[in-house]
């Protein structure tokens, strides 16, 4: 699986935007970029995913570099509930049985200050 | 709530004992996954099922671990002759067919081996 690199931790203030970076310089053409987050004492939850174009949903936006070697998860207005570990994951969807597993790194611990 | 459920939520056992965990996926989700997470690390993939077929197993899944999904619905994960190194959070997730569909995680079973 292609590897991702994220900062260990980041801090933000409540109601301010947060930009969480992820580097994936060895990404292949069939790798989707997925983001999950894990709140304390809970299982991970899906946030967003994309392939080449920027993506928006109700939780966040995903900005993907033109060369796809990096991406940024954007939380437009951080709340205390957004404090979590955020994981950037590449999923190869080249075949029906590939792309099944999620390969988590250590993620970025986001702290949101009131 | 029709999310993924896991039972028990916590299990304390003595070294050498056998333990079994259960996962009930979201109904009609064909795929079911097991992950293990130790403190401070991201979840690690163990195995996954498509319906009742176990399609992939990680090398982390030693001979003491066995997983089943006999009717393509709920799944069990058994650990025989537990060791202290087995202490971890065991997470279950499910998803519909489709390589890039999001995985829905349960709350996990916390195993402590004394």
From residue A90, alpha-carbon distances to A87, B11, B36 in Å are: 10, 32, 19
Q: Do B45 and A105 touch (CB under 8 A)?
A: no
Nearest CA to A106 out of A18, A1, A9 is that of: A9
Can you tell me the distance from the alpha carbon of B19 to that of B41, in angstroms, rounded to the nearest whole number?
A: 23
B57 in A contact zone (CB under 8 Å): no
Closest partner CB to B45 (pick from A45, A93, A102) = A102
Q: Do B100 and A42 touch (CB under 8 A)?
A: no
The torsion region of residue B84 among left (phi > 0), alpha (psi -120 to 50) and beta comes to alpha
pLDDT digits (tens, 9 = 90+) for A33-42: 999 999 998 9
Those residues with Cβ within 8 angstroms of residue A29's Cβ, 6 or more apart along the chain or in another chain? none
For residue B8, whether the previous peptide bond is cis, meaning omega lies within 30 degrees of 0, is yes
pLDDT digits (tens, 9 = 90+) for A6-61: 999 999 999 999 999 999 999 998 889 999 999 998 999 999 999 999 999 999 99
Q: Do B105 and A45 touch (CB under 8 A)?
A: yes
Nearest CA to A9 out of A81, A75, A83 is that of: A83
Can you tell me the distance from the alpha carbon of A39 to that of A81, in angstroms, rounded to the nearest whole number?
A: 8
B45 in A contact zone (CB under 8 Å): yes
pLDDT digits (tens, 9 = 90+) for A60-89: 999 999 999 999 999 999 999 999 999 999
Q: Please say whether the beta carbons of A19 and A72 come within 8 A.
A: yes
Average pLDDT, chain B: 93
pLDDT digits (tens, 9 = 90+) for B54-109: 998 998 888 999 999 998 899 999 999 999 999 999 999 999 887 567 899 999 99
- For chain A, what is the largest distance between any 2 Cα atoms, rounded to a whole number of angstroms? 45
As given in the structure block, the two tokens for residue A105 are 């790194």
CA geometry: angle at A77 spanning A72 and A81, to 5°? 95
């Amino acid at each position: 699986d292609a590897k991702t690199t994220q900062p260990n931790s980041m801090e933000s203030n409540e109601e301010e935007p947060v930009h969480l970076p992820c580097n994936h310089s060895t990404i292949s053409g069939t790798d989707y970029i997925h983001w999950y987050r894990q709140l304390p004492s809970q299982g991970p939850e899906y946030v967003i995913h994309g392939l080449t174009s920027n993506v928006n949903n109700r939780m966040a936006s995903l900005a993907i570099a033109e060369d796809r070697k990096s991406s940024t998860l954007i939380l437009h207005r951080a709340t205390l509930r957004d404090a979590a570990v955020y994981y950037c994951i590449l999923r190869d969807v080249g075949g029906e049985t590939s792309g099944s597993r999620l390969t988590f790194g250590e993620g970025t611990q986001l702290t949101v200050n009131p | 709530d029709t999310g993924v459920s896991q039972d028990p939520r916590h299990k304390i056992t003595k070294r050498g004992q056998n333990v079994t965990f259960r996962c009930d996926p979201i109904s009609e989700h064909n795929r079911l996954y097991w992950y293990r997470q130790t403190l401070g690390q991201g979840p690690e993939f163990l195995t996954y099922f498509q319906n009742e077929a176990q399609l992939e197993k990680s090398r982390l899944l030693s001979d003491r671990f066995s997983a089943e999904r006999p009717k393509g619905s709920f799944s069990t994960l058994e650990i025989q002759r537990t060791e202290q190194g087995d202490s971890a959070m065991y997470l279950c997730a499910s998803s519909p067919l489709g390589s890039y569909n999001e995985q829905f995680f349960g709350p996990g079973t916390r195993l402590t081996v004394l």
